Amino acid sequence: MLPLLLLVFAAHFDAVFSQCQNLSSLEFAYAPNLSSGVTGQVIFNNLVHPRGMKFDDASNLLVVEAGFGVVALTLKNTSHCQGWERSVVVQNSGYNHGIEIGNGMLYVSARGTVDAYKYDSRSISVGSSNPTTIVNELGGWNGTDYNNTHTLVYQPPSDTDPAFLIVSIGPASEGNLYAGQASSGVSQIRRFALNAPIPTFGHNWMDGEVIAVGVRNGVGLTIDSGNNLWIAENSVDLSLWNDTHIPVSLASPINNNPADELNVVDLDNITGGFYGYPSCATVWDPTGFGNFTTGEQFAFTYTLLNDTSCQSPDINTPPMLTFQAHASPLDIKFYNGVTGNNVSFVGLNLSWVGNGFVSFHGSSSTPSIGDPALVKIPWNTSTHAPVANVTSQTGYTYLIQAGNLTACPGPCIRPVGLQFDMEGRLFVSSDATGEVCVSRFSWKSFG
Ligand SMILES: *[C@@H]1O[C@H](CO)[C@@H](O)[C@H](O)[C@H]1NC(C)=O
Ligand SMILES: *[C@@H]1O[C@H](CO)[C@@H](O)[C@H](O)[C@H]1NC(C)=O
Ligand SMILES: *[C@@H]1O[C@H](CO)[C@@H](O)[C@H](O)[C@H]1NC(C)=O
Ligand SMILES: *[C@@H]1O[C@H](CO)[C@@H](O)[C@H](O)[C@H]1NC(C)=O
Ligand SMILES: *[C@@H]1O[C@H](CO)[C@@H](O)[C@H](O)[C@H]1NC(C)=O
Ligand SMILES: *[C@@H]1O[C@H](CO)[C@@H](O)[C@H](O)[C@H]1NC(C)=O
Ligand SMILES: *[C@@H]1O[C@H](CO)[C@@H](O)[C@H](O)[C@H]1NC(C)=O
Ligand SMILES: *[C@@H]1O[C@H](CO)[C@@H](O)[C@H](O)[C@H]1NC(C)=O
Ligand SMILES: *[C@@H]1O[C@H](CO)[C@@H](O)[C@H](O)[C@H]1NC(C)=O
Ligand SMILES: *[C@@H]1O[C@H](CO)[C@@H](O)[C@H](O)[C@H]1NC(C)=O
Ligand SMILES: *[C@@H]1O[C@H](CO)[C@@H](O)[C@H](O)[C@H]1NC(C)=O
Ligand SMILES: CC(=O)N[C@H]1CO[C@H](CO)[C@@H](O)[C@@H]1O
């Protein structure tokens, strides 16, 4: 009886599960380069592979530590802690990327499921109840060729629609020739109504409403003020395809094609459109690519579609913007400036309000093309689109970049999750270095 009592007692003792890191003691593991007007500071390190992040309504930053669970980082200013404190919210080694909060629920993704917990931001806890499974059998009935990680977006209810949970899925392999069809269950984005009774073991993945197909790996997802879903897509690795159409000179692991993509879906007019994979990709560097230009579509599996079909928007939806090959964009967020009541402004330059911010995880090959970075996309908030044309290679600028690119993907910052706080600061997780850092506009002291 005694050990059990001790366990129960310990569970209510914050000190057992909380850990403070004073800000003054923290430095980047590998100093990144910061563009002028931007500062960067590590707020916590030694995390286990930090991926997706989400602020709750009490300004706790929830972080998925892949292979560990969900933790909360809370800013303290006490005699014992002048920095952020980490506390464990859910310990579950299956959780590895996606996280969302909506209507009092915390949603977290594992390889094959999405779970939901009732979440209380004041106690920073999910209580003792078991999670509800919202989605199961991600990847459907079509074998095991699906990626480990899934991004989650909570779509709030409207006058006419209930709330939805939007979920993405990529393939694990390069060569899934079925992935352009909704029935393949991979390389697509689906959504699940949260009002309807949730089946006992969750919705089957294949029962979700199809939002987009042929999105190879749509990891970065966010909804803009016009109810458009923006998708930062990780494109194919051409070196693993061998179609004769691809110039031989490009077929090396460090090639600079195809572009990674920024795509969009109008959530007020969901058609389940096709976005190219595994047939069409987009040119980044036209050097050695015949008369193609940046942003133009080409077929890389002639067995499925040809260039003409790939270039027809009725067949293949073109991207809105292109990113450097192998940039590996993992998150996108829009900057809304100061969003809290009665909070000070300590955030990014207010002239950037409305712009898009994207994390680049960078190439996983060495030497790398595709830099680990945080970039800013100038945005036209009236047309709800990037300022630059899809044909542009300068549609975004670097704010933070790994300092020594020849060392990447080894000793380098590798940005993953992005979150703005109410004061306009941008928080960035880096899984490879176990860090969360914060970016501000040349601000002198920490607030
Ligand atoms: C943080 O700094 C305070 C004041 O210097 C000190 O008492 C405390 O031990 C430090 N905490 C940690 C976790 O280093
Ligand atoms: C995968 O899906 C395609 C159709 O989308 C089907 O033809 C094929 O048989 C499926 N493969 C498996 C292993 O179930
Ligand atoms: C997930 O997909 C990426 C490509 O987007 C690939 O590089 C990676 O190997 C995949 N991982 C798993 C575990 O399937
Ligand atoms: C919905 O999308 C389809 C296909 O892109 C398009 O033809 C149609 O005009 C759109 N409808 C509205 C109301 O925007
Ligand atoms: C490239 O040029 C050839 C010959 O002029 C033409 O047939 C082809 O359509 C062009 N391709 C593109 C993508 O413009
Ligand atoms: C491309 O494919 C379409 C549809 O199959 C076909 O009508 C067209 O002739 C093809 N174009 C070329 C240049 O092969
Ligand atoms: C704003 O915050 C300050 C300091 O926390 C507090 O003293 C003040 O009452 C607050 N004002 C309003 C309008 O909430
Ligand atoms: C992008 O620029 C090209 C060339 O200037 C132009 O033909 C095309 O219409 C532009 N696309 C958009 C979406 O503005
Ligand atoms: C980062 O800054 C250092 C020092 O100025 C410079 O040598 C290096 O080339 C920069 N790295 C990048 C990726 O710009
Ligand atoms: C950059 O990384 C490479 C490869 O690890 C290393 O050889 C080189 O010394 C590093 N450069 C600097 C300035 O640290
Ligand atoms: C922390 O608290 C001390 C004492 O109340 C105060 O002087 C200091 O400004 C606070 N620091 C921050 C960053 O809020
Ligand atoms: C991915 C791909 O296109 N693989 C092809 C490579 O070439 C061989 C031989 O032509 C084909 O059998 C593969 O399908």
For the stretch 16-44, pLDDT in tens is 458 999 999 999 999 999 998 899 999 99
103 C-beta closer than 6 A to ligand 8: no
Domain layout of the chain by residue ranges? 18-444
Residue 71 has pLDDT above 90, yes or no: yes
Residue 247 has pLDDT above 60, yes or no: no
Residue 446 has pLDDT above 80, yes or no: no
Q: What is the pLDDT of the chain when averaged over all its residues?
A: 89
Q: What is the pLDDT of residues 352-398, one digit of tens each?
A: 999 999 999 999 876 667 899 999 999 999 999 999 999 999 999 99
Report the distance separating Cα 428 and Cα 103, nearest Å.
24
Residue 91 has pLDDT above 80, yes or no: yes
**What's residue 426's pLDDT?**
97
| Contact criterion met (CB below 8 Å) for 241 and 301 | yes
Q: Which residue is closest in CA terms to ligand 5's atom 11?
A: 291
Q: What is the pLDDT of residues 348-357, one digit of tens each?
A: 999 999 999 9
125 C-beta closer than 6 A to ligand 2: no
**What's residue 129's pLDDT?**
79
**What's residue 252's pLDDT?**
52
Q: Which residue is closest in CA terms to ligand 8's atom 12?
A: 389
Angle at alpha carbon of residue 217, lines to 424 and 220, rounded to 5°: 5
Q: Which CATH architecture fits 18-444? A: 6 Propeller (2.120)
Percentage of the residues of the chain whose pLDDT score is greater than 70: 87
Percentage of the residues of the chain whose pLDDT score is greater than 90: 75
**What's residue 369's pLDDT?**
77
For the ranges 156-160, 245-249, 345-349, the maximum mean pLDDT occurs at 156-160
**3-state SS class at 250:** helix
Q: What are phi and psi of 250, to 5 degrees?
A: -90, -10
pLDDT higher for 239 or 245?
239
Which ligand 12 atom is at minimum distance from the Cα of 177? Answer: 1
Residue 208 has pLDDT above 50, yes or no: yes
Which ligand 3 atom is at minimum distance from the Cα of 172? Answer: 14
181 C-beta closer than 6 A to ligand 6: no
Residue 166 has pLDDT above 80, yes or no: yes
Q: Which of 135-149, 193-207, 325-339, 389-403 has the lowest mean pLDDT?
A: 135-149
Sign of the C-alpha dihedral computed for residues 296, 301, 304 and 306 taken in this order: positive
**What's residue 304's pLDDT?**
84
405 C-beta closer than 6 A to ligand 9: yes
Which ligand 11 atom is at minimum distance from the Cα of 77? Answer: 1
Distance 190 CA to ligand 12 centre (A): 30
Residue 239 has pLDDT above 90, yes or no: no
pLDDT higher for 5 or 203?
203
**What's residue 7's pLDDT?**
36
33 C-beta closer than 6 A to ligand 9: yes
**What's residue 2's pLDDT?**
35
* Mean pLDDT of all residues in 179-194: 93
Q: How far is CA 378 from the centre of its chain?
A: 19
* Mean pLDDT of all residues in 59-70: 97
**What's residue 249's pLDDT?**
53
Q: Which residue is closest in CA terms to ligand 5's atom 3?
A: 291
Residue 377's contacts (CB-CB under 8 Å, 6 or more residues apart) are 262, 321, 355, 356, 357, 358, 386, 387, 388, 395, 396
**What's residue 218's pLDDT?**
96
Residue 432 has pLDDT above 90, yes or no: yes
Residue 435's contacts (CB-CB under 8 Å, 6 or more residues apart) are 28, 29, 42, 44, 45, 47, 50, 413, 429
**What's residue 344's pLDDT?**
86
Q: What is the pLDDT of residues 288-332, one digit of tens each?
A: 777 889 999 998 876 789 999 999 999 999 999 999 999 999 999
| Contact criterion met (CB below 8 Å) for 325 and 261 | no
Q: Which residue is closest in CA terms to ligand 5's atom 8?
A: 291
